[in-house]
Amino acid sequence: MNILVTGATGFIGSHQCKELVQRGYQVFALSRSGRTGSIESLLSQKEFHLLVGDIRDADMMRNVIRDNAIKAILHLAALLPKSNKQNDPFLYFDTNARGTVIMLDAAYQNRVEKFIYASTLSVYSEPPEYLPVDESHPAQPATAYGVSKVEGELYCNLYAKAMNVAVLRYSGAYGQGERESNAVLTFIKQALANKPITIHGDGNQTSDFVYIDDMVQGTLLALENSQPGVYNIGSGREISVIDLAERIISITNSKSELVLTDKNTERPFRFFLDIAKAQKVLGYSPRPLDEGLHTYLKEFNVEVEK
């Protein structure tokens, strides 16, 4: 099967491409920048084809899908919050909403069989109305990024009347090849250097962290399963910031100490996803946090506590 992956050189996209190639799919990887760092190892593979283009170019997207006989699309490309510190709603709309409807329409016109849309936990209200957050929870995003992703979901709902569409609401991913420092990567770097681990707020706020390979597997299950719909893809478990830091200190045998700062956290509340639907319908089964951390730390060439 010929599969188009947008955002192919991003953190999630590059891992997704590697797994698809390993499974024998013909992968057409779309990158706006054309940079190949994260997918350099795939360039020599006969199943891998790098394309340079922009999802906002409607004519090009129609041609790419038609000329390469694309049967399925993993639409991962998006303008992320850290990419736009000005929080400009017009920029988010242009890429995340307008870009998505362009991809959906190009897919529809070329009879694509399956469309996977990468959404986000940021579509849910902050703080959540209840825990764990399931797919029926109100989608009332607090950011321009979240609004733009909901708009993309609404376009998916429109086109789902004519083709098989699955919407995946991802939680925060961690793992090999991360480029942006989230809490997991920041704490690992501080622990390995035996530096104080700094925590904003009181540290009791919780999050849902999923290992990148599990997110990739969840996406592939959605691709290979004929059931359309909306699915949460996360760990299904909550962990406080303090507990996360303490686990990393323990696993790495670090001498780091915890330091609480007066700086406010951006998410001062509890949050984690209900993944029961993905487990039941897709067969999704993410690994426990400790197992993910042990696997991740192999990248740093350190001996970890079992």
Q: Indicate the helix (H) or strand (E) that contains 144.
A: helix 144-159
Give the N- to C-terminal CA distance of the chain in Å, as an integer: 41
Contacting residues for 279 by C-beta, under 8 A, at least 6 apart: 236, 285
Q: What is the C-alpha to C-alpha distance for residues 252 and 151, in angstroms, rounded to an integer? A: 42
Q: In angstroms, rounded to a whole number, what is the distance separating the alpha carbons of residues 172 and 292?
A: 13
pLDDT digits (tens, 9 = 90+) for 234-256: 999 999 999 999 999 999 999 99
Residues 7 and 136 in one domain: yes
Q: What is the pLDDT of residue 148?
A: 97
Does residue 204 sit in the same domain as residue 150?
no
Catalytic annotation, pick one of 25, 117, 145, 174:
145
Q: What is the pTM of this model?
A: 0.95
CA 29, chain centre distance (Å) = 16
What CATH number is given to the structural domain containing 267? 3.90.25.10
Residue with tokens 């993910």: 292
For residues 23 and 45, membership in a common domain is answered with yes
Which range of residues forms the domain containing residue 32? 2-170
Query: pLDDT, tens digit, for every residue of 134-180?
Result: 999 999 999 999 999 999 999 999 999 999 999 999 999 999 988 77
Residue whose structure tokens are 């780091």: 256
Q: Are residues 97 and 199 in the same domain?
A: no
Query: Does residue 262 share a domain with residue 203?
Result: yes
- By C-alpha distance, which of 20, 71, 5 is closest to 221? 20
Q: Are residues 164 and 85 in the same domain?
A: yes
User: Are 15 and 130 in the same domain?
Assistant: yes
Contact 29, 75 (CB under 8 A): no
Q: How many domains does the chain have?
A: 2
CATH number of domain containing 71? 3.40.50.720
Answer whether residue 88 is part of any domain: yes
Query: Could you tell me if residue 69 is inside a domain?
Result: yes
145 part of the active site: yes
Residue whose C-alpha is closest to residue 42's, from 201, 177, 221 = 177
